[in-house]
Each structure stands twice: as structure tokens, then as C-alpha cells.
Structure 1
Amino acid sequence: MNKEKGNLSIHSENIFPIIKKWLYSDQDIFIRELISNACDAITKVKRLSSLGEADLGDNTDFQVKVVLNKTAKTLKFIDNGIGMTEEEVKKYINQIAFSGAEDFLKTYKDKGDVDQIIGHFGLGFYSSFMVAETVEINTLSYKQDALAVKWRCDGRTEFEMENSSKDERGTEITLYLGEEGGDFLNEYTVKSTIEKYCSFMPYPIYFEVADKEPEKDKDGNLIVEEPEVLNDVTPLYSKQPSSCTDEEYKEFYRKTFRDFQEPLFWIHLNMDYPFNLKGILYFPKLNTEFDTMEGRIKLYNNQVFVADNIKEVIPEFLLLLKGVIDCPDLPLNVSRSFLQNDGFTRKISDYITKKVADKLNSLFKSEREGFEKFWEDISPFIKYGVLKDSKFYEKVASIILYKTTNQQYITLEEYLEKYGEKLDKQVYYVSDDVQQAQYIKMLQEYELEAVILDHNIDSAFISHMEMKKKDIGFKRVDSNITELMKDKDQATDGESSTKEAETLTKVFSKTLGKEDCKVQLESLKSQDVAGMIILSEESRRMQEMMKRYSMGGLNMGAMPTEEILVLNKKHPLIQYILEHAEEETELLNCIVQQVYDLAVMGHKPLSPEAMTNFIKRSHEIMKQLIL
């Protein structure tokens, strides 16, 4: 044919600024679009060949080649797929998404909400104009006697078409990179982008630099570099789970996520009905702090990378994991990077949640010992899932483990079965097993254990569990004195005890300079402890909540303290204070202050000033012992 010139079939002065501004969030996305189009072209011609409708001759070594020429400032994408005829170029290229270009422009020209763009415009090829000043297509169809066609456009609505001398089936797209595409003249940038988006494309992808200086060995001979395949055409997740070994799973994890710490375990997803979904989810060894955990789940569509961590498909709590999910049925929009608002995605999300819960239950029931070994790593993830997803809670609530202060793992049901009768269905816990060691020891004296809940997420978690299981409550070990700790055999005179409590309140208030000091006198079985601080569970949770609000910038005002100083009537120091309450001696003041500071230290850290005075006072007491 003679050289043909014309305008792209759209009613707009220029579609390309619209494409650049709204269709693609990342400039490097053009590499994914052009390579995935090339793979599609190969798939089509293979299909025609299998149906006997295409004679491929010897050209069956299917591949995609990306060639960088820094000198010419070009980037080529070459495939040996189905190719295009002159008519097909006119239909699929010149008309720009012939099925709806006018609707697209009318609807989205003046709007910036990318989520509104629906996925039937087929504009992937035009992403190349994000980086190229001019784009050239050289293509030859698989059809017998077809003529090769060359198409050229400089980013405006004009194009040129003519016959070319191309003699091999397929398509070659050449991007003449402009200023905006300067980064892609870098070999590393192009290779890393191919690996980012095209790691699992179904056909080999080769990359070469056309004007690269040849290397020589020490003898001056040219070193011939073998072309390197940048992708894995049959990724592990696409295989049957029964054919995969543990070492293959670990190697896939290391290669995909550049993480050389072995995952704890994994789940291989393989579903054909009612939708097609394959993938592998890995449970990595997590960080100790919940707010620093960050997973990465890569979402693919027919082995084409879509995005990381898409919440419409992957439940939010699972985003703490690492993995790969490939679902060809995903309803993507034109840029392949955003999901349309489709109830189908919710079904996928529910399926993934169910498979994860099933795996956890299976491990708990069949490999309890192994499950306990990595519980500390996975517990924040499970607790987060319980808070975020009611269906997940229902499936895993019975297998949530609690580590006790004697370093054993126990479920809530097991804890209540063992201690529930003694503790009136209360679950005692510690948030700092060092700080609260005194209270732990007192519980253990009565063959009772507390569970350790020392993670950032635990405060919200126990509130959630109380809401779900209304017949139980969680109490920190320093929230009250259980009846088991009291000496019921100690004869008490109600009136006398009241007077003693009033005396102690007066002494401690005056010595400590605390008018609001609250004192509770008890006869405890243990004589090792003179005093302890308790704070009701409700008061402490309120204080914690107000502290969080304050950290968020919301001034909630000061929360009045509800701390109570519990004094052990049976302890010699308390007896001494009662007997010498009226004397106001230096020794009495010293004992009162020391008993109080020791009680506070078992409950929370002393203030810097209080700690300084405590250390000074302790030295003075020890000096008196040797004088």
C-alpha cells in the first residue's frame, strides 16, 4: 500500500494527556502493558495453531524480547505472536478502543476519579506514550499472503501507515524515548521493572542492550553472553500442591520476596470452581511490635502483575503476610491496577479467609507442638484478624493460645477448665512479667497461673473477647486481691479493723503528702509482702484509652487516679507502723515511704524523682544495718 496519513478516530484534540493523567498511576506501567500484550499475541496464535487455523512453520520458539539502545534512545518490544494485518491496525490502533472512545472521553475528560474508569476501553498500548515522543509498530500477521505494516505516531492524533519489509510473524514496537522516559535508558531500571511486573509471564522474556560494548577475557577474546530469561514461565503457585517440595516452597519465597529468613509455614491455594484462583500465602517470622509489621501479597491476573496488597481482594489482616495470588477472573479496569466495585471480589476474599482459618485449625489439631512453637510469631496476625473479621473469629476463636506465666500454652477453654472455678471465670493476665513478678508469685503460691498479654494489640483484643464471650472477663494481676489470697482463718474485729485502716490512711497520707491516698487493710496469707498497689481493670483501661486519645492530639483532661494501696496486716512492718503511728519519728517516715515505693514498683515504674529518693533511702537503711 502507499503511505497513508490520517487522524486517530476520536473527537478530541488530544487523548494522550488524559491517558497520562488518569489511566496509569505509575509511569513504568507501560512495560507491563506492552509485554503482557505481546504474551497475549503469542497465546492467540498458539490457540489458532492448535485448532489447525494457523501454519506456524519453524517459528515456534515463542518468546518476548526487550531491546534497549541507549545511543538511539529507543526501547523495543518484540514478539513472534499473532501479528496484525493492515485492517487490524486500523481497527485496533487507529480507532483507539473502537468500542467506546467517545464514551470514555465524554465521561472522564474532566474527572480525576480513577476508580470510575471501567475496563472495556483496551488502551494498554497507549501507555507507551507516557515515556515516548514517538511510537512505531512494525507487524506481520500469521495469515497467508499478509503484508507487513508499519505504523508511526508522534503522540498527537496524526499517524502514518505504510508497508514494511518485516518477514517474520509477530510485532515489533519501538519507543523513541523522550525526556519523560529518560529513566528507561538505564539498563538496571528496565530489567528491574520487567522483574517487578513480569516475573511470572507465561513466555520467556529476554533483555539485551543493543549498543553495549562487548567484553573481552584476559586473552582478548570476546565474551559471548548467553541471553538471560528474566521470568519464571511456570511459577510454583501454578503447579499442583502435591508436586511441590518444602525446599521449592522455601526457594520460591526467597526469590520472590528477597527474604532469606525461612517462613514459618505456607498455604497453597488452588481453586477452579466457582472461580479460578491459585497462589501461595507465607507466614513469615513477624516483628515483635505490631505497628512495624508489614507484609506483601502480590496480586496477578493470568500471570500479569496487578499490584501489591489490594484490600478489595485480600482481607486487611492478611496483608501482614507475604504471598502471591493469581486470579484470572478478577474484574479489572482498563489500567489493570484497580478493581471495579464487584461483589465477586468479596467472594474471593471470603475464600482466602476460609483457607487460612482451615490451615490454622489443621495445624492446631494435628501438629499442636509445632503450632505452639511459632505461636509468638503468628499471634499478632491472628488477633488482628479476630478484631477485623467476624467470620475469621468464628473459625479460630477456639484455637487461640495464651502463654502462661509458667511458659506453657493454653486455650481459653483449657484455662477456664483448670482455673475457672477458683477464679470465678476470670482470666488473670500480666502485661509485664518482670514488673508484675510479685503478683505472679502470689498467684503461683495458690497454684494459679496468669496468661501473658504484653503485645500492643492485646488491649483491644481482650476487650473484643469479652464482648464476644460475655460470661468471662480479663483482669490484670494487680487489679484486685482475690479471696484466695486472704487469710480467712485470721480472726477480725470489724470495728477494730476499720480504726486500723483509718490510722494507716492518716499516716500514709501525711507522710507521703497525698491527701487522696486510698488504703485498704487486708490479712493476707503471705507474709512476704507488706503492701501492694491495685487498680481496677475498668479504671486502668479508661486511663489507657485516654492516653491513646491524648497521643492522637485529643485533649481528654486528667484522669483521676483510682489506685488503692493494699497493706498486709500480718506483715511486721505494717504492725510496726500501727504501733508507732503517733510518734512521727524519722524511722517511721522512712518505713512508710519505703513500703509505699516498694508497692508502686511492683505495679509500675517509679517516677525519676521517686526512684532517686528510693535509692538514697535504701542506702541509708543499709548503712544503719552495719552501724
Structure 2
Amino acid sequence: MQKQGTLSINSENIFPIIKKWLYSDHDIFMRELISNGCDAITKLKKLDMMGEYSIPEDNQFKIRVVVNSKDKTIKFIDNGIGMTAQELDEYINQIAFSGAQAFLEKYKDKTNEDQIIGHFGLGFYSAFMVADRVAIDTLSWQDGAAAVHWESEEGTSFEMADSQKSEVGTEITLYLNEDSYEFSNEYRAREIIEKYCAFMPVEIYLEDEAAEPQYETIEKDDLKETDEIVETVVEEAKTEEKENEDGTKETVEISPRTEKYKINKRPVPLNDTTPLWNKHPNECTEEEYKEFYRKVFMDFKEPLFWIHLNMDYPFNLKGILYFPKINMEYESIEGTIKLYNNQVFIADNIKEVIPEFLMLLKGVIDCPDLPLNVSRSALQNDGFVKKISDYISKKVADKLSGMCKTDRENYEKYWDDINPFIKFGCLKDEKFAEKMNDYILFKNLDGKYLTLKDCLEENEKEHKNQVFYVTDEKEQGQYIHMFREAGIDAVILKHNIDTPFISHLEMKNKDVKFVRIDADLTDAFKSEETGDEEKVKKQSEELTALFKKALNNENLSVQVEHLKNDKIASMMTMSEEGRRMQEMMKMYSMYGMDPSMFGGKDGENLVLNLNHPLVQYLAEHQDGGHTTTICEQLYDLAQLGHGTLSPEQMTKFISRSNEIMLLLAK
């Protein structure tokens, strides 16, 4: 059989489109050609199941990728369905070579049953991204079919002829172009196969024709019929001379004569044909989940827990999502969700399919129903894809809420690690937030975990609808001590995400107000006996003026109170609104925006306790010799109790403290 032809219509052909539009990453040709081989094998298996073909008993379905760095070639060999001359002519010569315009119109946005993804035709042409010449040798499964050879050089013409191929299947040979020699390197080929084909459903073997043969030595019992014996290795029996009790000597065998066999090293498939996500959750062990996590993500810290997705209606979707353990202080929260289509890797973190907040997790999702474009690089049909995203979000919420209801102990154990994920999800996904509303936990000062409802009930009497919180247990230690003494509870919220999250909760729950424990003084801290009101008012005005003058700050806000705790002379508070505005200003300044455009004041307020002797001294001796020093010291001590001093303030504070100690020493 001889046939020749040109591969262009109106001077247009497929190759410029393949190279410039269809596939942006050239290494993807390997995924396409291996995937075609998998399809060919799957079709042959179906014919066997239908009784139209009988697979030989000793047959092992596999795909061989054979690289040759000397010849600069790659071969893709499958033992699948094969093609007749007519099929090869139809799939290769007619479908793709219909001209650039027709090609684009026919396949660019195809999403129906006729989509060509996975068919032999289109994926095959990715080979021309890396090869100047491509050859096909194929033999169809059909009785009496003749083997066919097809070849095209530089994408301008083709030749078809008889082939010498004797086994059913297809062999594609790529003669690489000068820019693509790297792909004939065994290690580069291995890297690409492990990237795109790690879970394809047919075993994939990589061979290097240019490499020296590698051998292994095995025992006789381990020898298989398929092994080719290169050399028989005989180990003679070992003996030693032993002296008997009567003084005679004899030779004793200490190890028998053995035969071992040197054989060509057995190839090992590079892929896992039955990935864990394809199994039913009941069939998977805890160790299997952990091993899969280590293997796929190269993360050797054990995940906290995982969610196994398994759905077949209204669309097919399987997967495993892992909640990783993250050191929030030193690691960024950045996950990886790998997306597969029929066990073929598509991409990482496709935001249309994966809800944004779940991209903080690590996991795999396989959705055979994904409406992909011809290059599998973009998604079509936004409505359908949105349903997939919503389903994934729902399953995660179901898992978390179910764990909180039925396994509260473990849920609490994981909470410190997983709460940033959940809070981010609530901020980004309204439906997720609604489902999780009753399962958000808050850790109180005693380490007890409470729901929002629990928190409100704790403070129901004196501080109705208020939730007090701590952001830094060290910096706010003084206030925590006061709260404990007053019997008032607070929760710990120290992640960056907590500020927007509590604002979100306040919007969702109109009566709830979150207040940081250093925001204001509650009545529980104030003494009921304050003395003469007129006198207190006068002292308050005088102390305010005194501190403004001593600190040279006319804008200083001073609040004079009688506190129950007479050990505290001064402290600092900041209004909740002022502090949140300050944090927002800091955030915007990080992005190069002018914080002054948001207005707002710093909101700091110096509280002086008239029940403390030092404040009483200042009230009664405003013209004393050390008044300014005492005012400065009380202000800095209040600042230290509220946070930290600037380097300049700290220098002055230390110097002043030394001066005060010298005065005491005299």
C-alpha cells in the first residue's frame, strides 16, 4: 500500500496553531501521547468485555516510553486497539488537517459529546511542537487487518505505506527538533511523566535505549518465565573442618551450593494505576491516606485529617482534601489542589473549580465531567463548573460540622490549626459561612472551647451581647489579670484573619459586639465609692492638665477613675473603633496607599487610678520637684502594660528608671 498527500489547505495547516495557541507548555505533548495510548487500551478492554475481541492470557497492558539521547528520538508504544489504514487516514489525515479556520471553529469551544479530548486525533498533533518528523506504526485488532506506517516531515506532507509491525497496538516515533533534544533525556522524561501521568490507569514504563544495560541477581524461586537469564551465578558449598570429642576430624558443610541468576533489571511502572481517591473511603486505611499525602505533596509532617470526596450524581467527582499542620509563625498558608480529569493531571489550583479558601489545603480532585477546551488548559461552561465548586465547599462544611457534632474532642484538638482555613472560608463563601456558623469555636482564657452562643451566655448578665477578646497574652497580661480578678471571661483571637472575621460576625449577628479587653474599662473594675464628686471632678481636670504639660502633648486623652485594684497606678486603653481603624490604616500603608485618606485618630486613652497613692500624690502635689518625672514614668509604664515602647521611648525610660533608683538610694 502506498499513499501520499499534502497536509495543508489554502496554505494553512495545523502546526502554527498547535505551537502558538493550543499548547502553551511544550512538555505537555508527553501527557497527550501517553493519554492516547491509555484510551487505545481502554477501548480494547471494552471490546473484550463485549465479546468482540479476546485478550490473550499472557497479555500485560502497558505503555512504553522509549527515549534515545543519542538518536534524539522518543517512542510511545501501546498494545491497545490499533488502527486500520482507513482509520489512520480518517483520524490523522482528515480530522486535524482541515485548515486552521475550520479547526478553530469546530473545536475551540467544544463542550458536548463530540468533544475530541481523549480521541487519538487531536492530542497526537502536540507531537509537532517538539518534533520535525513523526512516524506511526500501527496494527488494528480487527481480523485480517494489515499493519500501516504513516510519516510526516516538517508538517507539510505525509506518506502512508505497509508496516512490519506484528503486534496489535500503536508505536509513535518522534524525531526531535533541535530545540527539544532535552526530552530524549531519561531524567527529563521521567520528570514529565511523574508530573502529568502519575495516576494514569495503565502502567507506564520508561526505557533508555542509549543507556548501558542494568542487571539484578535473583534467587531461583524468584525467577519468572518472562525473565531473560544473562548469566548463572554459582556459589559453591562452604565447608569447615570440625574436631570431634574423640579427637577425630571431619569436614562439615556450613552452607549449601546455590545457583543465582543474573537477569536484565525488571522495569518498574512510574505510575499508580489505582490512586487512593478511586477507592471507597471504607477501603482506605489511615496509613494509606498518610502515605499518599507524603508521596504526592512531599510533605513529611502528618496532616491533621482529611476529607474523602466521592460523588457520582449529578456529576462524577472523587478526591481527597487534606488539612495540613502549619506553623503559623514561620510558614505561609499556601496549599496545592491538584486537578485531574480521568486520572490525567490538568493543573494546580484552578480557581474556577476549587473554592478560593480551600486552596489553602492540599489535595487532589478528579472530575471526569470537567468541560475542558481542546488543550485541557481552560474550562468552559461556567455554570456547571460553579456547581462543582459549590459541591466541594458543601462537602467540606458537612465534614467539619459533622466532626464538631460527633467527635468534638478531636475537633477541638484540631481547632487551633484549622481555624484560619475555616474563617477564611466564612469570609469568602456565604453558603459555607451559614453552614459553619454554629461550629466556630473560641478558646477562652482557661483553654476551654466555646461557640459564639456559649460566649454570649457567659457574659449575659453584666455584658450582654459583648464578647471580650485577647490578641496577645503577653502584651495584654495586665488586663487579663484584671479580667480574671473580676470574674469576666475573654477569648483568644491572635491570627491576622481574626480582625476581618469578627467584623464579619458582627455584620451577620447584629446584636453581637467584639471588644478587646484593653478597649475600655468596664464598671466591674471601678470602685463604687468615689468620694466627693466635685472634688473628684476638680482633681480629674487638674491631673489632665498636669499630664498634658509634663508630656508636652495637648491632644493627650486622660481618664481619671477610682479602680478597685489599688496596685495599678496607670494603664492605657484604646477604643475598639480607633484600634480597628489603626489596623486598617497599617494594612493599607503596606500596599502603598496613603493611610490619612481614611481619617481617624489613634484612640489611645491614659487611665489614672485615684485609688493609687502615687496618683493621689500627684493630685495633691502638682508643683512637686519630681512631678514631671513621675508623669513621664506613669505614662511609659502604661504604654509598656499595653504593648511596647519605641526605641527612643525605651532609651528615655531606662535612663529615667536609673535616676529614680538613685533617688531612692540616697
Q: TM-score range by the shorter chain?
A: over 0.9
Deviations 1:74-118, CA, capped at 9 Å, x for gaps: 11110000111111111111124478964334699xxxxx9x686
Q: What is the distance in 2 between the residues matched to 1:306 and 1:210?
A: 29
- Which residue of structure 1 aligns with residue 477 of structure 2? 437
- Aligned residues of 2:136 and 2:171 also touching (Cα < 8 A): yes
- Which residue of structure 2 aligns with residue 93 of structure 1? 92
Tell me the amino acid that sits aligned with residue 497 of structure 2. I
- Which residue of structure 2 aligns with residue 378 of structure 1? 418
Structure-to-structure mapping, 1:541-620, within 5 angstroms: 541-557=580-596, 559-583=600-624, 585=625, 587-620=626-659
Q: What is the distance in 1 between the residues matched to 2:280 and 2:105?
A: 47
Q: What is the distance in 1 between the residues matched to 2:392 and 2:282?
A: 19
Identity %: 58
Structure-to-structure mapping, 1:171-186, within 5 angstroms: 171-186=170-185
SS at match of 1:371: helix
CA change 1:559–1:179 in 2 (3 A) is farther
- Aligned residues of 1:132 and 1:180 also touching (Cα < 8 A): no
SS at match of 2:167: coil
Tell me the amino acid that sits aligned with residue 498 of structure 2. D
Q: What is the distance in 2 between the residues matched to 1:100 and 1:499?
A: 94
Is there any run of 5+ residues in structure 2 with no aligned partner, and where?
A: 218-230, 234-261
Q: What is the distance in 2 between the residues matched to 1:424 and 1:608?
A: 40
Give, in angstroms, the shift of residue 539 of structure 1: 1.2
Q: What is the distance in 2 between the residues matched to 1:179 and 1:351?
A: 47
2:299 to 246, 259, 284: 259
1:410 to 438, 450, 455: 450
Tell me the amino acid that sits aligned with residue 316 of structure 1. E
SS at match of 1:602: helix
- Which residue of structure 2 aligns with residue 323 of structure 1? 363
SS at match of 2:578: helix
Give, in angstroms, the shift of residue 220 of structure 1: 12
Structure-to-structure mapping, 1:70-469, within 5 angstroms: 70-97=69-96, 102-105=101-104, 120=115, 122=117, 123-215=122-214, 224-288=264-328, 292-469=332-509
SS at match of 1:160: strand
- Which residue of structure 2 aligns with residue 540 of structure 1? 579
Q: What is the distance in 2 between the residues matched to 1:414 and 1:230?
A: 53
Q: What is the distance in 1 between the residues matched to 2:10 and 2:143?
A: 35
Higher normalized strand content (fraction of residues): 2
- Aligned residues of 2:358 and 2:421 also touching (Cα < 8 A): yes
Q: What is the distance in 2 between the residues matched to 1:71 and 1:220?
A: 32
- Aligned residues of 2:427 and 2:501 also touching (Cα < 8 A): yes
- Aligned residues of 1:118 and 1:334 also touching (Cα < 8 A): no
CA change 1:12–1:384 in 2 (3 A) is farther
- Which residue of structure 2 aligns with residue 111 of structure 1? none
CA change 1:220–1:539 in 2 (3 A) is farther
Is there any run of 5+ residues in structure 1 with no aligned partner, and where?
A: 109-113
Give, in angstroms, the shift of residue 509 of structure 1: 0.9
- Which residue of structure 1 aligns with residue 225 of structure 2? none
Q: Are 1:624 and 2:623 matched, yes or no?
A: no
Q: What is the distance in 1 between the residues matched to 2:9 and 2:59?
A: 37
- Aligned residues of 2:13 and 2:99 also touching (Cα < 8 A): no
Q: What is the distance in 2 between the residues matched to 1:538 and 1:529?
A: 25
- Which residue of structure 2 aligns with residue 513 of structure 1? 552
SS at match of 1:422: coil
Give, in angstroms, the shift of residue 121 of structure 1: 5.1
Q: Which moved more, 1:458-467 or 1:396-405?
A: 396-405
Q: What is the distance in 1 between the residues matched to 2:98 and 2:561?
A: 84
- Aligned residues of 2:8 and 2:98 also touching (Cα < 8 A): no
Deviations 1:183-224, CA, capped at 9 Å, x for gaps: 212211111211111111111111111110134789999762
Give, in angstroms, the shift of residue 561 of structure 1: 2.7
- Aligned residues of 1:101 and 1:121 also touching (Cα < 8 A): no
Aligned residues: 617
- Which residue of structure 1 aligns with residue 562 of structure 2? 523
Q: What is the distance in 1 between the residues matched to 2:399 and 2:320?
A: 12
SS at match of 2:642: coil
Q: What is the distance in 1 between the residues matched to 2:595 and 2:436?
A: 36
Q: What is the distance in 2 between the residues matched to 1:452 and 1:539?
A: 20
Deviations 1:511-549, CA, capped at 9 Å, x for gaps: 111111111111111112111111111111112112211
CA change 1:107–1:124 in 2 (3 A) is closer
- Aligned residues of 1:594 and 1:614 also touching (Cα < 8 A): yes
Q: Which moved more, 1:12-21 or 1:218-227?
A: 218-227
Q: What is the distance in 2 between the residues matched to 1:155 and 1:278?
A: 42
Q: Which moved more, 1:333-342 or 1:385-394?
A: 333-342
Q: What is the distance in 2 between the residues matched to 1:217 and 1:318?
A: 46
Tell me the amino acid that sits aligned with residue 463 of structure 1. S
- Which residue of structure 1 aligns with residue 29 of structure 2? 30
- Which residue of structure 1 aligns with residue 243 of structure 2? none
Deviations 1:387-416, CA, capped at 9 Å, x for gaps: 000110011111111122222221111111
SS at match of 1:611: helix
Give, in angstroms, the shift of residue 10 of structure 1: 4.3
